[in-house]
Structure 1
Amino acid sequence: METKSKRQPEEATPQSFKTYKRRFWILGIFSFLAFFQCLQWNLWGPLSESVDFAFDGFGSGTVAMIANWGTIMYLLFAYHTVRIMDKKGTRVAVLIIAVSVTVGTVLRAGALLINSDILFKVMCHIGAIVNGAVGPIVMISPPVIAAVWFPPNERTTATGCGQLINVLGNAGSYLQPLIVRSPTHATKEEIRSDIARLLYIYVGVSVVVLVSIALYFPAKPPTPPSVSSTKERIDVMGSATTLVRNSDFRLTVISMVFCVSVPAAWYTVLNFSLEEIEIGQDEAMGIGFLAVLCSTIFGILITRITDMLYGHLKVSLIILMSFDIAFFYWFFLLTWGCIEVTQWQVYVSIISGMSLNAATIPLFTELAVEFAYPCSELVVAAFFTFGMNVLGTVFLFLFMIPNIGYDWVTYALLATGSTSILLLVFVEENYRRTNVDKQACEKGQ
């Protein structure tokens, strides 16, 4: 493990720990890569009208299935990626992400050189599979990077940046209609040309990121940043066995899965829910972009406050989730015609609900890591991201059912959110990792 050290915490001295400015480069380049990988995952959702018009066979089922490859690949590769990170470290794991994302962009762009709608569709599926295969590394890396590179008073913020900037990729995808015109403003050939230009840009970006990471992305700092980061972690199988028996950890993970997975998957198919209330692709672009942008900003703000006022994770989560459900209920009333649909209500209900929901992700992560210490952060992240992808896969598969419509989506948002709060009520807080660092400070280490 990268967090291993030959010296145990009780042997440490003040000179044993140090933070480096390069930690911001590590977090920054990883966060951008995570952002870009998420953008590729949600590539076609915001362009659903345009791609369906320009290429035969791109209906809602195809768009949902291409997005669903990300969750399916997570389920298939989660264990293997945990082993890779455990054995090879974050440098090798992050390089694998960069290579896979680059291959996915090249496959899609290369298919356009041959004028075949079938080939293009096949390459889009393959590109999504390649991109989705590294999804587990993207999702489990933030708490590991935070533990290895950042001091205790910055760990929640670092975890939140890695996770929430990944989600910000959805906002980036909703800016794509600025390059790709809608069917109401362009011909089929013009839209195909717009899509080609967009995909070629993505190839260039992915290559630049890959080269940057290859040039400099060390696995760990020369000197660890805190006492808890020097503690040797339990191995992968030992961590998994220990955590399965921890009831507070189980409840926390299940609560997070119910809270986050359905809204996260909903991002990729938000257009279809908005179509039900007569909001088209161009308007959905603004809603989707602002929702994710505000989610990222608000989420990082919450993580910084949490770092400064640490010790109230459970109460903070329950408050955030309660307001989250309230805003989703507002959207529920709009979609079911209980109140008149107006633009400002759609914007406020979706953006507020998504922002509150996203802010829970790093807080859930930190609470789970606290329960699990000294079990591996890799295994902790693997548990909740695996669960999120299981439920997200089920959610997206429902769109494949003929004539199912989209009204059921709001029911799913409310049901999963309510279940999450109920489960979290029974959790008893225990800050094991933080207590180790506090005890070290009290002893003058």
Structure 2
Amino acid sequence: MEGEPRGEQQQHKTYKGRYYVLTVVSLMSALQNVGWFTFSPIAAEAKEWYGLTDIELTLLPAYSPICFLILTFPFTWFVQKFGLRIAGISAAWLLAIGFTIRVFVPYVPEASNWIWLMHIGHILIGYVGLPAMILPPIVSSVWFSPKERTFSTAIGVCAQSFGGAVGFLLISFLTLQYGIRTMLYVMAELSIAVAILFSIYFPSQPPTPPSISAEKDRTTFKESLFKLLRNKGFLLLVTAAGIGLGIAFGFQSVLSIILNKNTSDFDETVDLHSFNDFITSTSWLGFTMSVFSTILGQFVGFFADRFQRKFKILLCLLLFLSTVSFLWFSLSIYGYGSQNSINLFVTFCVGNVMISTSFPIFYEAVVEQTYPIAEGTSSGVLTLTLNIGTLIFSIIGIAGVFSDKYPERAKAMSWVATGASLVALLLVFLYSEDYKRLTVDDKEKDNQSESKKHFLSKKTGVAIIN
């Protein structure tokens, strides 16, 4: 196995099985995101085949942030009580049930009597959003070495963006070529395959921990909540994430209204015949954001592992770029900047990619800030605040504050997104970095270094001096 100990000096090691564990968690995360927005790219077909209303099309994806609001603390307690294995396997099978149950909804007009199955399916899919977003930093801490943690968290977190990109292509292609029912069958089969992969191999932890911090006992769940409320740095980080990331993710939901109704160039077409078709399609804009968020998120995670203790600088840089991009986008759609389709496409894309890229860095920053509180608890609160911001947008949309009938109201939300990103930047700037977990792991390095010097000194008879 990788990481076999060399003599008696190495007390911790990593296993090749960590890649399998990270892969199945990433697959679940990607697939959950596909299920979450299944009907968004094919809203017209969903209305025609199942009689779904505009409110239902908004409500189905809203079940995910609603589940976060209700179940975050029960789930984080569940993970700490029963471990990674039970939490992961149960989530994978609930996701499979959620995907499969949608297949049994008949076509209209019979669908009206069975549409509750669609809602149950999306509630289950929405619940799995919790493990999909909370498990990656836990897997990183339990299975990966300190030099791999941020990168592995980025892979797990950015898998949602990857799922969004692949899901958009898959949903659109299967629906247009074979029909919506075939698309739902394929999604159900994929979810069952992922659940089987979890069942084959998904232990709670490796035989030997990868670091000294991984083997330390975590603070009890009840005590953790009190400590989190008294941790100023943590409160600044989660508030910044809730305001900046949550509102920005919600802002994506009004993109089609802003561009399609307030400009003459954009629409939701998926067919591509020229570059202009691509650059003026809000559907392909969403796809592009997902692709670049996946790539850049992993790159930044890898960079953060190579140059540790730089989370604040990275977050400030990413939030600054998102603020500038959202500001330029807002000015442009109001006529103070170029309304060229390329300009609008690029500025909105860059703003959201920067926000998405900051997500795994926020995860690792709050874990470092709150150690030895369990990673699931601190990251769970982070995702809760983020989903509250997203849910606010969903509630406003369901209430009809902005819709196709009120494009000007949706347009005004661009200033809200700009302001939210700026506030998040200021909050991150105010927080004092604290790398408690890395400090514990660095002590192990120092001890190993001292032991090696002592061994060489005894062997050679020459004192090793720093």
Tell me the TM-score normalized by structure 2.
0.86
**Are the aligned partners of 1:48 and 1:58 in contact in 2 as well (CA < 8 Å)?**
no
Match of 1:230 in 2: 215
The residue number in structure 1 matching 2:16 is: 21
> Deviation of residue 83 (structure 1)?
1.9
Distance 1:110 1:273 in 2: 35
State the partner residue of 2:394: 396
For 1:49-198, what aligned pairs fall within 5 Å after superposition? 49-59=44-54, 61-112=55-106, 116-119=110-113, 121-175=115-169, 176-181=171-176, 194-198=179-183
Matched, 1:280 2:274: no
**Cα deviation, residue 120, structure 1:** 5.5
- The Cα of 1:119 is off from its aligned counterpart by 4.0
Asked whether the 8 Å contact 2:72–2:130 carries over to 1, the reply is yes
Kindly state the Cα deviation for residue 113 of structure 1 after the two structures are TM-superposed: 6.5
Instruction: Give the AA of the match of 1:22.
Output: G
CA shift, 1:27, in A, is 0.4
Unaligned regions of 5+ residues in structure 1, if any? 1-12, 182-189
Quick check: 261-270 or 283-292, which moved more?
A: 261-270
Q: Distance in 1 between matches of 2:39 and 2:253?
A: 8
Residue 124 of structure 1, CA deviation = 2.4
**Which of 432, 436, 443 is the equivalent residue of 1:439?**
443
Q: Which runs of 5+ in 2 are unaligned?
A: 1-7, 270-280, 450-466
1:8 aligned residue: none
Pick 1 or 2: higher relative contact order, CA cutoff 8 A, min separation 6.
1
Q: Quote the offset at 1:55 in angstroms.
A: 4.0
Preserved contact between residue 250 and residue 389 of structure 2 (Cα < 8 Å): no
Contact 1:259 1:417 in 2 (8 A): yes
2: CA distance, partners of 1:93 / 1:273? 40
Overall identity of the aligned pairs, in %: 25
Mapped contact 1:46–1:284 kept (Cα < 8 A): no
| Counterpart in the other structure of 2:355 | 357
- Please give the per-residue CA displacement for 1:233-253, whole angstroms capped at 9, x wherever unaligned: 111111111111011111111
**Aligned runs of 1:32-51 on 2, under 5 Å?**
32-51=27-46
203 and 443 in structure 1: CA distance in 2 versus 1, 3 angstrom threshold: same
Whole-angstrom distance in 2 between the partners of 1:104 and 1:48: 19
**Is the Cα contact below 8 Å between 2:251 and 2:414 reproduced in 1?**
no
**Would you say the 8 A contact 1:108–1:120 is kept in 2?**
no
- Is contact 1:177–1:285 with CA below 8 Å preserved after alignment? no
Q: Distance in 1 between matches of 2:431 and 2:242?
A: 15
**1:30 maps to which of 25, 30, 35:** 25
**How far 1:314 moved relative to its partner?**
0.8
Q: What letter corresponds to residue 426 of structure 2 in structure 1?
A: L
| Segment drifting more, 226-235 vs 117-126 | 117-126
Q: What SS does the corresponding residue of 2:51 show, helix, strand or coil?
A: coil
Provide the aligned C-alpha RMSD in A: 2.0
Deviation at 1:122, TM superposition (A): 3.0
Find 1:249's aligned residue among 220, 225, 234. Answer: 234
Question: Cα deviations across residues 38-89 of structure 1 (Å, max 9, x unaligned)?
Answer: 1111112222233234443432x32221111111111111122112211211
* AA partner of residue 359 (structure 2): I
* Counterparts of residues 234-383 of structure 1 (less than 5 Å): 234-268=219-253, 270-276=255-261, 277-278=263-264, 279-282=266-269, 283-383=281-381
| Inter-partner Cα distance in structure 2 for 1:91 and 1:273 | 43
Q: Aligned pairs, how many?
A: 423
Amino acid at match of 2:162: L
Aligned mates of 1:351, 1:116 — CA distance in 2: 41
Aligned to 2:464: none
CA contact (8 A) 1:95 1:210 kept: yes
Scaled by the length of structure 1, the TM-score of the pair is: 0.90
Note if contact 2:77-2:377 (Cα within 8 Å) is conserved in structure 1: no
Alpha-carbon contact 1:45-1:269 (below 8 Å) kept: no
2:429 and 2:302 mapped to 1: Cα distance? 24
Structure 1 or 2, whichever has the larger Rg, is 2
